[in-house]
Amino acid sequence: MSRAAEAEPAEPREHYLNAQYGVRSWLLTQDHKRIAILYLIGVTVFFAIGGVFAALIRMELLTPPGDLFQSETYNRLFTTHGVMMIFFFMIPAIPSVLGNFLIPLMIGAKDLAFPRINLLSWYLYIAGGLLALWAVIHGGVDTGWTFYTPYSTVYSNGYVVVTAVGIFIAGFSSILTGLNFLVTIHTMRAPGMTWMRLPLFVWAHYATAIIQLLGTPVIAITVLLVGAERVFHLGIFDPRQGGDPVLFQHLFWFYSHPAVYIMILPAMGVISELVTGMARKPIFGYKFIAGSSIAIAVLSFLVWGHHMFVSGQSVYAGLVFSILSFLVAIPSAIKVFNWTATLYKGSVSYQTPMLYALGFIGLFTIGGLTGLFLASVGLDIHVHDTYFIIAHFHYIMVGGTIMGYLGGLHYWWPKISGKLYPEAWARVSAWVIFLGFNLTFFPQFILGYLGMPRRYHAYPPEFQVLNVMSTAGASILGIGYMIPLVYFFWSMRYGKPAPANPWGATGLEWQTPSPPPTENFPVTPVVTREAYDYQTKEEPALG
């Protein structure tokens, strides 16, 4: 951040943060940037709640016998951890915070297409979250975040309906966010901002929006049917009346597998920005990265059956789903190869966002490759419902999505807050998170392969060493997450003022002051260059 010195203490300029004051001006705002801040507060709170439950799980698993919690309580702990993290943190995190803030800025628009709907979707998100929290406080749910029938419809004595309604409402929030992004990207691009000049972050969110629009309604109707079955005793998933529990699994995973890509695609978009910005080089294979986002969105709807290899699905369906699941690896690998090719011969700066980007690439690769193990029917039957699965999807979701989210938050924090964060502390925390993460989840691959099943509060003594390692890693990871929380708050008050473009990056969001004015740009920008055009900026092309 050598350019920080350039920032003169200018006279107070009006920007989106100081344009209005007071609680009302925030809770009734229609400014996409302020709504992004509201979301930032929301997802941070739910992340903290989910994190506390993760800590309780890891404490129980420190010792082999189930000595800290009863098995019933433990069921409620991991369910709450999953519900909070997936529906109220992972799915909204990057789109609703970074996407909300950046998409209009990146395409040169004054706001999202539907600002009031944007605010509505925040309120829906909070309402859904509060309902789910109400259920937790009153005793929680014990079904696992997957709500498999008939346990969830007939036998569970937890607050299934309240939680389901919370998820239903949060789902609407997700649909409305996706709809807003889709329409905004289609209709609000600045003059000259053609589709092939869109930042890859925007392409990733476009693909995400497609999944949100096509997938979320299916989970909505599914949880509604589960609720109806519990309350009115309908029999759609009840075998006693001829219903089929496997139909529930089909409907559930038709959304919930694509939902994994709602969580990872935006993070991939962030990484595309970080890699070019920090390597100061045009992205390698722009069209392939953009196209791979769309390909992932399409393929994501064709692979749900790989969650059901042992659920009584036909062998032939299993084979087809296995092959289709392998296909998803192609667009994912295209991204990884193109990111690394972008770094090749770039002038790479190893500042905090780059540390997160490299962390993402490494951890996502491990998570993705173990995903291929799981897509192979034979191997999946061996490790199904073991800690191998837990380790795999935490490598994707924590190692992928949260790394991308934190990297993006650091990269755009100067733009969001107008202040620079302390670089040294940020690097320390990035390393702590990376090391803590691996110590937490790598032993779980081994545990799973050796046969430790998921969702049990007790385990045989021979698994203790690896579990102690995992719990120790989780403690380190927890500390790693708290450091940024402290210094981001600190920087809002004491940080150095940020210049408009602290990274010397391309992209419209860096051409407006930090923090941006309420209308984003003093005059609507006209785009004349390709995305990530670092060459013409620095020197004439070498030919």
Looking at beta carbons only, is 84 or 182 nearer to other proteins?
A: 182
* Contact (Cβ atoms closer than 8 angstroms) between residue 343 and residue 275: yes
**Should residue 247 be labelled a site residue for other proteins when binding is judged by CB under 8 A?**
yes
Shortest Cβ distance from residue 255 to other proteins (Å)?
9
Beta-carbon contacts of residue 461 (< 8 Å; ≥ 6 apart): 64
Q: Which residues pair with 497 in a beta bridge?
A: 419
14 touches other proteins (CB under 8 A): no
The answer to the question of residue 154 lying near other proteins (CB under 8 A) is: no
Contact status, residue 450 vs residue 508, Cβ threshold 8 Å: no
Contact between residue 64 and residue 463 where contact means Cβ atoms under 8 Å apart: yes
Q: Which of 28, 130, 196, 221 binds other proteins (CB under 8 A)?
A: 221
> Cβ 132 to other proteins, closest distance in Å?
21
Does 95 participate in binding other proteins (rule CB under 8 A)?
no
Q: Which is nearer to other proteins, 244 or 530 (CB)?
A: 244
How many residues at the interface with other proteins, by CB under 8 A?
41
Is position 115 an interface residue for other proteins (rule: CB under 8 A)?
Answer: yes
Site for other proteins in 348-387 (CB under 8 A): none
Q: How far apart are CA 475 and CA 300, in angstroms?
A: 34
User: CA 426, CA 347: separation in Å to the nearest integer?
Assistant: 21
Least Å from the CB of residue 32 to other proteins: 9
Q: Helices (H), strands (E): how many in the chain? A: 18, 0
* Residue from 70, 524, 526, 537 binding other proteins (CB under 8 A): 524
* 285 CB-near residues (< 8 Å, 6+ apart): 334, 338, 341
Give me the torsion for CA of 429, 432, 436, 438, rounded to 10°.
100
Q: How far is the CA of 482 from the CAs of 47, 403, 433, in angstroms?
A: 11, 14, 10
Q: Which is nearer to other proteins, 32 or 335 (CB)?
A: 32
- Position 389 contacts other proteins (CB under 8 A): no
Q: Is 420 in the site for other proteins (CB under 8 A)?
A: no
Q: What's the closest the beta carbon of residue 252 comes to other proteins, in angstroms?
A: 10
Interface with other proteins, residue 167, by CB under 8 A: no
For Cα atoms 461, 463, 468, give the angle at the middle one, nearest 5 degrees: 100
**114, 326, 337, 456: residue in contact with other proteins (rule CB under 8 A):** 114
Q: Does position 170 bind other proteins by CB under 8 A?
A: no
Our CA angle for 100, 103, 106, nearest 5°, is 145
User: Is the CB of 230 or the CB of 455 nearer to other proteins?
Assistant: 230
Calculate Rg over the CA atoms of the chain. 23
Q: Is 421 in contact with 413 (CB distance < 8 Å)?
A: yes
B/e letters for 147-166, b = 16+ CB within 10 Å, e = fewer, are bbbbebbeebebbbbbbbbb
The verdict on 91 binding other proteins (CB under 8 A) reads no
- Give 53 or 147: the residue with its C-beta nearer to other proteins: 147
21 touches other proteins (CB under 8 A): no
Q: Closest Cα partner for 268 from 180, 214, 194, 203?
A: 203
Applying CB under 8 A, which part among 42-50, 155-163, 230-238, 496-504 lies near other proteins?
A: 230-238
Give dist(CA 535, CA 145) in Å, integer.
Answer: 48
Phi then psi for residue 497, to 5 deg, are -60, 140
Query: For other proteins, which stretch binds (CB under 8 A), given 54-62, 113-121, 130-138, 147-155?
Result: 113-121
Q: Is 150 in the site for other proteins (CB under 8 A)?
A: no
**Distance in Å, CB of 438 to other proteins, minimum:** 38
What is the pattern of x (binds other proteins, CB under 8 A) and - over residues 172-211?
Answer: ---x---xx-xxx-xxx-----------------------
Is residue 229 exposed (0-12), middle (13-18) or buried (19+ Cβ within 10 Å)?
A: buried
In angstroms, the CA 426 to CA 432 distance is 10
Give the one residue of 90, 109, 161, 165 binding other proteins; rule: CB under 8 A: 109
Got the DSSP string for 341-361? HHHTTS----SHHHHHHHHHH
Taking the complex as a whole, the smallest distance from the CB of residue 497 to other proteins amounts, in Å, to: 27
Residues from 436 through 465 that contact other proteins (CB under 8 A): none
Residue number with CB closer to other proteins (48 or 247):
247
> Are 273 and 183 spatial neighbours (Cβ–Cβ below 8 Å)?
no
- Beta carbon nearer to other proteins, 473 or 516: 516
- Residue 183 or 372 with smaller CB distance to other proteins: 183
Residue 508 interacting with other proteins (CB under 8 A): no
CB of 171 or CB of 404, closer to other proteins: 171
Choice from 215, 353, 400, 516 touching other proteins (CB under 8 A):
215
The stretch near other proteins (CB under 8 A) out of 217-225, 264-272, 343-351, 436-444 is 217-225
388/374 Cα distance (integer angstroms): 9
Considering beta carbons, is residue 119 or 220 the nearer one to other proteins?
A: 220
Cβ distance to other proteins smaller for residue 423 or 519: 519
Residues lying near other proteins in the complex (CB under 8 A) are found at 109-111, 113-115, 175, 179-180, 182-184, 186-188, 213-218, 220-222, 225, 228, 232-236, 241-244, 247, 250-251, 254, 519, 524
